[in-house]
């Protein structure tokens, strides 16, 4: 009997490792969501003081930040569901040991769903990272144009265009 309990605990460690990885992912996702939220607050404050050109640019940033937050929301939900199915897999292992049966199909189903949800959460996270990178590159391009315009002065814009 003791050998069976030890074996079940050893087998249950696999879902526990996945669960700790999911918890770490959820921490990363929530930190990124907090940063997006801080950026939304900043942009929302700036939009009221901005001139029409800058307000258009800031409105586009808000739209972009909304897409990022939606992707992060999906990543969080999918990872949390993956964590719940991981817990279900561990529970099925223990219940199966108590009933002296394995409940193989339920175990495979819950652990399989845990893996699929976790992978989908990672996919949403990667999409958000790619969106963040694209937004960063767009922001750098806008700032470069603004800096070049300020350096060139109003009379030198034709010269600036020819140099680029």
* Band of residue 31 on the pLDDT scale cut at 50, 70, 90: very high
Q: What is the mean pLDDT of residues 121-128?
A: 93
- Is 163 a member of any domain? no
- Is 136 a member of any domain? yes
Percent of the chain with pLDDT strictly greater than 70: 85
Domains in the chain, number: 1
- Is 77 a member of any domain? yes
Domain range for 57 is 2-154
- For residue range 71-123, list pLDDT tens digits in order: 999 999 999 999 999 888 888 877 776 676 667 788 788 888 989 999 999 99
Q: Which two tokens stand for residue 62?
A: 């808000």
Task: Spell out the long-range contacts of 98-107 with Cβ–Cβ below 8 A and sequence spacing 24 or more.
Answer: none
Rounded-to-integer distance, Cα 87 and Cα 85, Å? 5
- For residue range 145-161, list pLDDT tens digits in order: 888 888 876 555 554 44
Q: Which two tokens stand for residue 52?
A: 């029409």
- Is 159 a member of any domain? no
Rounded-to-integer distance, Cα 94 and Cα 144, Å? 60
């Amino acid at each position: 009997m003791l050998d069976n309990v030890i074996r079940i605990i050893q087998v249950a460690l696999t879902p526990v490792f996945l669960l700790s990885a999911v918890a770490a992912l959820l921490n990363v996702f929530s930190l990124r969501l907090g940063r997006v939220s801080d950026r939304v607050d900043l942009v929302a404050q700036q939009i009221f003081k901005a001139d029409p050109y800058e307000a258009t640019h800031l409105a586009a940033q808000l739209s972009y930040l909304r897409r990022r937050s939606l992707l992060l929301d999906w990543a969080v939900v999918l990872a949390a569901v993956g964590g719940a199915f991981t817990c279900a897999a561990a529970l099925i292992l223990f219940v199966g040991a108590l009933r002296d049966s394995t409940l193989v199909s339920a175990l495979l189903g819950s652990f399989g769903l845990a893996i699929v949800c976790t992978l989908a959460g990672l996919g949403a996270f990667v999409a958000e990272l790619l969106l963040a990178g694209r937004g960063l590159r767009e922001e750098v391009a806008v700032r470069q144009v603004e800096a070049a315009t300020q350096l060139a002065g109003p009379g030198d814009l034709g010269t600036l265009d020819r140099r680029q």
